[in-house]
Chains A and B, each alone.
Chain A
Amino acid sequence: MSERSRLRLLVLQVLVLSLLMTLLGRLWYVQVVAKENYVRAAAENRTREIVTPAARGMILDSAGRPLARNHTALVVSIGRTEMLRQRDGGRALVARVAAVIDQPFADVWTKTRLCGTPGAESAPRCWNGSPYQPIPVTDEADTAMALQIMERREDFPGVTAELTAVREYPAPLKANAAHMLGYLGPVTDEELAARAAEADVTTGARKETVLRRTDLIGRSGLERQYDDELRGKPGVKTLAVDHRGGVSGVLSESEPTPGNHLVTTIDSKVQAVAERELLAAIKRARTTGDPNKGGKRYKADSGAIVVMDVRTGAIVAMASWPTYDPNIWVGGISTKDYQAIASKKSNYPNQSRATQGEFAPASTFKAVSLPAAVKAGYSLNRSYSCPSAYPIGSTMKSNYESRAYGTISMRRAIEVSCDTIFYKFAYETWLRMGKLHPRKGAKDPFTEMAKGFGLGKPTGIDLPSEADGRIADRAWKEAYWKATREFYCAKAKTGYPEVARTDPTRAAYLRRLSRENCVDGWAYRGGDAANFAIGQGDTTATPLQMARVYAAVANGGTLVTPHVGKAIISAEGKLIRRIEPKPAGKVPSSPETLRWLRAALRGVTEKGTGRGPFFRAEFPLAKVPVASKTGTGEVYGKQSTSWFSSYAPAEKPRYAVVMMVSQGGTGSGTSGPAVAEVYKTLFGISGQKVDLAKANPPGGRPPTQLPEIRLDGTVVQLGSPMLNQASALPPFRREDGP
């Protein structure tokens, strides 16, 4: 035999050995290294879970009227297992079901396709749940349809028609409250993964809140904020299955635990009036000519109103415009509806201007500047000159509409909203601090006071996505300059040729501005300080933040934490906890200053800028004195922002009402009348009569009592125990069927 043969035999030996080693190595990997994955996969292989969703808790107003509840709908579902058993893959079955529920075959067929399988459309059109879960094809079946299906069982294998809970926003007394309530949406893959990871690291107790693919999750508003409380725990039936997918037994079964109910501080009546008046104010503004734009009508593109209990921070009503019907989210939102609430064209009705809209607070900010001026050393008990304009460096900054009032008391300065006096306070303080380069450790009393009143950061309200607002102080200017320097320096070099073509003057102005911003955009100038004192310039606040500022003035300096949630009540009606967030602290101003300010603000309504709307509404100020401050914010390139901040009764304050209309004109002209109407509702005012029994909420103050929720889900409303039986919801039971 040849040498070559022997050599090749040697090669063969090596080859055989290496193949065996490969097998051993792979075995080591599969059985030892990656064992856990396979053990888990094996467990999944042998069990299937059938999930019975828990009824989601209701959201009630403070009197017990349901703002969000479930109605029982007849849901027709098709079992996929049965479909697959059909010779045609279930096509004929689906066609029969489609005919009965009066829907096109293609629509129903699409709904039964598993997401991610060939031919399936993208979520949420496809079925994103377990293949073992019956697939709901309509939640709008009527009894006749259900009967057809249930009586002809042989024609509809695996098809069920069952009563199921579907979310509903009934808008009691026409209170829409869309922005506070939020909405539900299907769970995303990311959330599933995130929650699963969360459950892995913690103990079994936490695992109960782990999401399932079929779950709906609160996407915004209270539905999101209190999602864990409202959702409850689904019932899970774990089935043992064999290799054919046949069920061989039940391993475990748990009944669904319904979610807890959320009682809110909202009063539906006040909410409805606030919404109505906000819309009325916007319509009013749209018929009013803007004197600064040659009489062109105000755009009034958006607005918000906040009604808050000044003692606790409880939100009695809060509305934002433009708004939408929260029911469009139920059962999955259509593309058209989504466009209508979340596009530039529709001006984003899904955003709450009350908590997310940031606007220059204008003269309503003087409630902050005045205590700051006191801190800076200015006396409230002397007179100051209120000229039509005040020199800041080389420029003159003028009063609103360049009015001059001569030498007036400080109180009068607040009543007529004199800007030049505040320019003087702020500018002189700025000079004393060391102008552009302040002494080390020197604190600007104006920006410090703004921080002390909780501006520039979220109020901590129990609603998601709250905006910060902005205190445009030295630190902010420097940070902003650093972020935008490159852009402005480039523009300073290139200029604005595209603007120059049509408007050379404006182009030159823009270029000069860019050059300034490039070189010393960081500088906090005297003009910036003066602007800051009257709530103009780059400083912004949300209507909610301003409501909290006025609540602090009203209650003697406590910076309350606004909240919409009042209590969590279990499905059985037991109180689980009250929601009473602690105040964020005290504002850094003396009680004397605040008392002086309260008197001045009362004067604003009685004989100052706030008088007009209350006078015209024949509001009984003698019985219910109102303290207020108007604001008309100037925004470059836009029409002025209308603000009206207030609280009442001025003596023993209970409610703060703040309203804002973007591009809406003056505070007293646009917002004031709306605020007056809201106070009429809050205090039961009709003509000159004040009847606290007819007030909303009754008695002229938010109820401390909670509505009673019975075991069967009915709500006993405060004040009218027999009234609400009809609106109550029969409890959802999955055994129920036609």
Chain B
Amino acid sequence: MTAGYGPASYAGTRRPTAQSHSLLGKESVLRRLDWALLLAVLAMCFVGTALIYSATHQAALEHGTDPQAFAKRHLLNTGIGLLLGTAASLFDYRVLRAYAPVVYVLSLVGLVAVLSPLGVTINGSHSWIVLPAGFSVQPSELAKVALVVGMAMLLSEKRDAEDVPRNTDVVLVLVFSALPLGLVMLQPDLGTALVISALVLGVIAVSGAPSRWVLGLILGAVLTAFVAIQVGFLKDYQLERFTSFLDPAADPKGAGYNVRQAQIAIGSGGIHGQGLLEGAQTQGQFVPEQQTDFIFTVAGEELGFVGAVGLVLLLGIVLWRALRIAVRAEDLYGRLVATGVVCWFTFQAFENIGMTLGIMPVTGVPLPFVSYGGSSMFANLVAIGLLQNVHLRREA
């Protein structure tokens, strides 16, 4: 079932360790992997494939294109992502540290590039670079990975006798993260900016940094939001998206339309759902952006409360395992990497699902593993790879 992730595919890249002599032995990497985490992630990817197919095949049929195109691409993305993840899990993190600056710089270059004429606007967000052969990448997704690794590195540098970051470390981290955050804001991609903010805040907090930093950052975030609205820093459409979730009925054909249609889809699913490929809202293409940002509505309508809860529970398993890895990590670096991933996934998923349920503003962020989209799938699976890496090191 794990296509492209057979033992053979990584046996060659894996550096043998003293403890593991056999692939199937008690100490082998395969044995020691966090399987619950991996299986939950794979389940989400496959559920996503089905949902994407359901959301896209009608429109494709109408346009005379391959109805399975999106689903196939999602599977392909999953496969590539698993390869990248495998790599991320097997490198010793010391090696990883050497590459971290490269990833960071690469993501910065990408973020600058999207602001240049190379960038493409999709859904009011100038966050894409189109590559030849029909590929496009979203550098902001890469930036999340870079931040997780980079921040963990900066905050866990061994200091004499101290096991908490000093003020200088925190300032360094803030400067380090402010660069990509600022670039993302310029796109403007408010959703990703919020996810990055949550990630930064969570990692700094768990690093054990002094409380004044944590409280200060929370206060700063609130103030920034307030000022942004007052000064008009946010574009009108962004404000509308933000406020429309409070009262979607106010303007049913405008900014509130997506929220309204999304909720109608989920609500009309009921307990058992209308059945895969049977959702009237989904098949009638009433929900915009359904295969990406609003993929959860397909689950809500076609799989019902049972299916939607199942999906949330799968996410819960992923987060539970990630948190477990953070708690059990043998060093601060590992803990902070795991923490970063947890904050990232938690906030992004909450934002995504909450948006479809009308309790969060509409900011286009994908649902990890389920939404269609290569860059985000790669970044997510690399993050899982990092979690496995921390998990494996602890046992090592």
Contacts and interface: CB of A to CB of B under 8 A. Distances in A.
Interface stretch (B43-51, B87-95, B301-309): B301-309
A499 interface: no
B305 A28 contact: yes
Interface string A13-48: 101100110111011101110110111011001100
B250 to A, nearest CB: 11
Contact of A27 (B207, B286, B312): B312
B268 A38 contact: yes
A197 to B, nearest CB: 20
A22 B270 contact: no
A617 B308 CA distance: 91
Contact of A8 (B205, B267, B269, B354): B205
A26 B300 CA distance: 12
Interface in B204-259: 205-208, 214
Given A5-B207, A12-B342, A12-B343, A20 B316 contact: yes
B181 interface: no
A16 B268 contact: no
A333 interface: no
A20 B286 contact: no
A242 B285 CA distance: 7
Contact of A26 (B284, B331, B332, B357): B357
A16 B284 contact: no
B271 interface: yes
Interface string A120-140: 000000000000000000000
A705 interface: no
Contacts of A4: 164, 208
A12 B267 contact: no
A710 to B, nearest CB: 48
B339 A12 contact: yes
Nearest to B156: A1
B342 A23 contact: no
A585 to B, nearest CB: 55
Contact of A42 (B163, B264, B327): B264
Contact of B304 (A15, A20, A31): A31
B207 A20 contact: no
Given A31-B308, A35-B267, A23 B357 contact: yes
A245 B346 CA distance: 37
Contacts of B346: 15-16, 19
Given A12-B206, A27-B357, A32-B305, A1 B267 contact: no
Q: Is the interface of A mostly helix, strand, loop or mixed?
A: helix
Contacts of B208: 1-2, 4-5, 8
Nearest to A118: B251
Contacts of A28: 305
B271 A31 contact: yes
Nearest to B350: A19
B270 A16 contact: no
B342 A42 contact: no
A660 B311 CA distance: 81
A299 to B, nearest CB: 55
Contact of A5 (B206, B265, B342): B206
A243 B350 contact: no
Most chain B beta-carbon neighbours within 10 Å: one of A24, A30, A31, A35: A31
Nearest to A2: B208
Contacts, number: 124
B323 interface: yes
B266 interface: yes
Contacts of B354: 22-23, 26
B207 to A, nearest CB: 7
A32 B270 contact: yes
A9 interface: yes
B323 A1 contact: no
Contacts of B304: 31
Given A5-B335, A8-B206, A20-B319, A42 B326 contact: no
Contacts of A35: 267-268, 270
A159 B266 CA distance: 39
Residues of A in contact with B, size category: 20 to 34
A45 B281 contact: yes
Interface residues of B, number: 49
A38 B266 contact: yes
A39 B342 contact: no
Nearest to B332: A1
Nearest to A34: B267
A4 B269 CA distance: 44
Interface string B60-85: 00000000000000000000000000
A9 B319 CA distance: 13
A513 to B, nearest CB: 58
A101 B322 CA distance: 72
B359 interface: yes
B387 to A, nearest CB: 14
A432 B305 CA distance: 83
B275 interface: no
A34 B332 CA distance: 46
Contacts of A5: 164, 206-208, 332, 335
B120 interface: no
B263 A38 contact: yes
Given A5-B335, A38-B266, A46 B280 contact: yes
B359 A20 contact: no
A39 B305 CA distance: 14
Interface string A141-158: 000000000000000000
Contacts of B214: 8
B40 interface: no
B339 A26 contact: no
B295 to A, nearest CB: 15
Given A5-B335, A9-B339, A26-B359, A42 B268 contact: yes
Nearest to A240: B284
A9 B315 contact: no
B285 A22 contact: no
A39 B339 contact: no
Contact of B357 (A6, A9, A12, A30): A30
Most chain A beta-carbon neighbours within 10 Å: one of B268, B319, B323: B268
Given A2-B208, A27-B357, A45 B342 contact: no
A45 B261 CA distance: 9
Contacts of A26: 354, 357, 359
A637 B263 CA distance: 68
Contacts of A37: 267
Contact of B266 (A2, A6, A13, A30): A30
B246 to A, nearest CB: 15
A2 B270 contact: no
A587 B381 CA distance: 95
A310 B163 CA distance: 109
Contacts of B263: 30, 38
Contacts of B284: 45-46, 242-243
Contacts of A23: 312, 350, 353-354, 357
Nearest to B316: A20
Interface in B316-338: 316, 319, 323, 326-327, 331-332, 335
Contacts of B300: 27, 30-31
Nearest to A40: B268
30 contacts: A4-B208, A6-B327, A8-B206, A8-B214, A9-B206, A9-B326, A9-B327, A12-B205, A13-B323, A16-B346, A20-B315, A22-B359, A23-B353, A23-B357, A26-B357, A26-B359, A27-B300, A28-B305, A30-B357, A31-B269, A32-B270, A35-B268, A35-B270, A38-B267, A39-B267, A41-B264, A41-B267, A41-B268, A42-B268, A45-B261
List the 10 shortest-distance A-B pairs measured between CB atoms, nearest first: A38-B267, A5-B208, A2-B208, A42-B268, A31-B305, A4-B208, A243-B286, A38-B268, A243-B285, A39-B268
Given A1-B335, A12-B343, A15-B346, 20 more contacts: A2-B164, A2-B208, A4-B164, A4-B208, A6-B327, A8-B208, A9-B323, A9-B339, A16-B319, A23-B353, A23-B354, A27-B300, A27-B312, A27-B357, A30-B263, A35-B268, A35-B270, A38-B264, A45-B281, A45-B284
